[in-house]
Amino acid sequence: MNTLLYTFHFYLFGLISIASAVAFVTRKSPVAAALWLVNTMFCLSALYVMLDAQFIGAVQVLVYAGAIMVVFLFVVMLLNLGQASDVTDMRGLGGRLTAGLVGLAMLAELFALSRIKFPRLTGAMGDHANVVNPISAPLFHEYLLPFEVTSVVLLVAVVGAVVLAKRGPGAS
Amino acid sequence: MYFDLLIPSQLAGALIPDLILIIGAMLLLLVAVWGPETMARARLTGMLAIGVCFATFAAVVWLWHGQATASAGIIAVDAFRWATDCIILAATIIATTLMIDYSEREQLVSAESYVLLLLAAGGMMLLAASRDLIVVFLGIELMSIASYVLSGLDRRSSRGAEAALKYFLLGAFSTGFLLYGIALVYGATGSTDIETIGSVVTGANFNNPLLLAGIGMLIVGFCFKIAAVPFHMWAPDVYDGAATPITAFMAAAVKAAAFAAFLRVWIEAFPGATAAWMHPLQWLAALTMVGGNVIALQQKSMKRMLAYSSIAHAGYLLVTVVVANALGASAFLFYLVAYTLATMGAFAVVIALGEPGERNQQIADYAGLWNVEPWLAAAMAVFMMALLGFPIAGGMGFFAKFYVIDAALHAPHPQTALAVILVIASVISAGYYLGVVLVMFMKPRPADALVVRPVPTGTFLVIYLSAFTLLLFGILPNGFAALARESVPIGMVSSPARAPVAAAASR
């Protein structure tokens, strides 16, 4: 049963992530494409959690789906690449009604959950308590050099961006 | 000296040259931006950059002379690394010297360019040292990102901007191939350490489709970086659009470093899968040798001609990767020294004769140079002969080609066909190398030809020292050749010892 559920979830998230990736490269509007990429990132983080790498899953959401994609969207919007006609949040009446209903259902769920006392899940936590160690130990021992070199790569990228973008002495 | 690479302090010890270079570059960045942007400051930064390179050079020679060794680990501490480092540093010193003179001529104030040159050299030195695919990737990225920026340094030039963007997009694309290849190889072997990969990839299990796809992707990624046909499309435009000293740097040092990593990965990680990559690499080498030379024949611009010639030379160097043994590695190092000196020297002559705005760089502009600047013409002739591989007049160039052919014929799988193609391609290349010599010596100087400006001291030194070195070691190649023979990757030294163990295990 557990294996079946696992397989089901694997295919669920795997297929959604592949479908989102396909949507990402086929969308015309950059904003829509970026949002599909966020979706892919979320599905990947679900797969990481299924592999017992909860920390990577969380970082994936925070860094990729969160920070990087927000910056990406920010740049897209600053450059005004999204076609105004495509990017609109004014949908039809049905959409608004559905959104309102979903919102109400979630509010009800929150209300119900705060009242009902579920038994706490404790036993299983012990196995996963130490999820950062398997990443941090190799990072600072075995892969110390690549880790440090990454910072130099980032330095070059920053210097390069400034060199290319700064106003030269001759330019007005 | 012995370094245990698992202890961070000793790992730092094994990386002393790289640390001197990178920390020096960071301090230089402060010098570069600490005050108003003036030509004097840029010049000072350039001079200090040369100083940092010499300090690094001293550290490399010290470790090489001390015969440093290390435990198996993420980086190699062997003579192959030190020899490649020396070539990379020499190319960086030459490029920086040329850049100082070139900036003065073009009124290009950019103190940061020297910092980027040093950081690119840092990435190259990591590539020369890497024994782990992760370090290979990071080294390539460090080198490439700095090169993208360097090729677009002169923002007044639209061709420079085109070059930088083209290089960036195609470079990022090829990096994707490389990274995917690394991921697939990791998936197939469970390691990114090339020694471990080498012990897992043996004749029996190389048919794993994951591994084959990974090797294929790695070939594509590396061939983009070394500009082998048919992955060379970016090279002529980038080499043509970038500032000439940067072009020289990319044609010599970037290519050398990518090749050093390519060679080490191929020698140490994939000898067990020879049957899988032998034919693709043979075809790539043959196509690159013939394609680069045939297209170079039709070029009118000196820079473009040298760009295609550097593609052709990538083909000759690929032969040593196909050979993938100690003989190939030492032929590779010897070739790299001759190629770096000749290419750098030829580009230095282009800079000496160029006019502001990168004019006066057509091959036709060199007509009758012998009549007005005999020494400059003679030096250029030496560089062309060296690139052609002509005996005596070409100096080291002749022996470089000789050793590559020798390695190809004496490989475990003799590459007779490639050796024949190499010779034919060299004959084709005579068409344009000797064409330049012909134009310089036989054609009369046109009446409207520009008067050659006095050659700046730095460029002067680069041109004549390169030519002198090429000629000197062309007459006395034995010392250099012996040094190259001893400077093979550490995996080659230990492989005879590993072979009986593998044989015993299979029994």
Q: Per-residue pLDDT tens for A62-97? A: 988 888 888 888 887 777 765 555 555 556 788 888
Residues sharing a CB contact under 8 Å with residue B100, sequence separation 6 or more, in sequence order: B43, B46, B47, B458
Nearest CB among A144, A149, A171 relative to B138 is that of A149
Crossing angle (nearest 10°) for helices B302-323 and B274-296: 160
Q: Determine, yes or no, domain membership for A113.
A: no
pLDDT averaged per 10 residues, chain B (length 507): 87 93 95 88 94 96 90 88 95 96 89 94 95 94 95 86 92 94 92 89 75 93 92 90 93 94 91 86 94 92 92 94 88 93 95 87 89 92 93 88 92 89 94 93 87 89 94 87 83 45 35
Residues B211/B189, Cβ–Cβ less than 8 Å: yes
pTM of the entire predicted model? 0.87
Radius of gyration (Cα) for chain B, nearest Å?
22
Number of domains in chain A: 2
- Domain around A149: 132-172
CB contact under 8 A, A160 and B109: no
How many whole angstroms separate alpha carbon B80 and alpha carbon B77?
Answer: 8
Question: To the nearest 5 percent, what fractions of chain B are helix, strand and coil?
Answer: 80, 0, 20
Are A80 and A6 part of one and the same domain? yes
Whether A98 maps to a domain, the answer reads: no
A79 and A138 co-located in one domain: no
On whether both A77 and A139 belong to a single domain, the answer is no
Pairwise CA distance, residues B92 & B250, whole Å: 10
Interface contact B29-A141, CB threshold 8 A: no
Is A132 strand, coil or helix? coil
Q: Does any domain span residue A38?
A: yes
Residues B146, A142: C-beta atoms closer than 8 Å: no
Residues 129-148 of A with CB under 8 A from B: 141-146
Q: Both A76 and A3 in a single domain? A: yes
In a domain, A103, yes or no: no
Looking at the domain assignment, is residue A146 inside a domain?
Answer: yes
Contact B152, A164 (CB under 8 A): yes
Q: Where are the domains of chain B?
A: 10-505
Amino acid at site B408: A
Asked if B359 has any chain A CB less than 8 Å from its own CB, the reply is no
Q: Do A145 and B109 touch (CB under 8 A)?
A: no
pLDDT of residue B496: 39
Instruction: Please give the DSSP secondary-structure letter assigned to residue A7.
Output: H
Residues of B in contact with A44 (CB under 8 A): none
The reported pLDDT for the residue numbered A171 is 45
In a domain, A101, yes or no: no
Distance CA B14, CA B129 (A): 10
Specify if A60 maps to a domain.
yes
pLDDT band of A157, cuts 50, 70, 90: very high
A9: domain CATH number?
1.20.120.1200
* Residue that is last in its domain, among A84, A118, A140: A84
CB contact under 8 A, A163 and B113: yes
Q: Is any Cβ of chain B less than 8 angstroms from the Cβ of A168?
A: yes
- Mutate which of A163, A166, A172 to test chain B, going by most B C-beta atoms within 10 A? A163
- Look at B135 and A164 and tell me if their CB atoms are within 8 Å: no
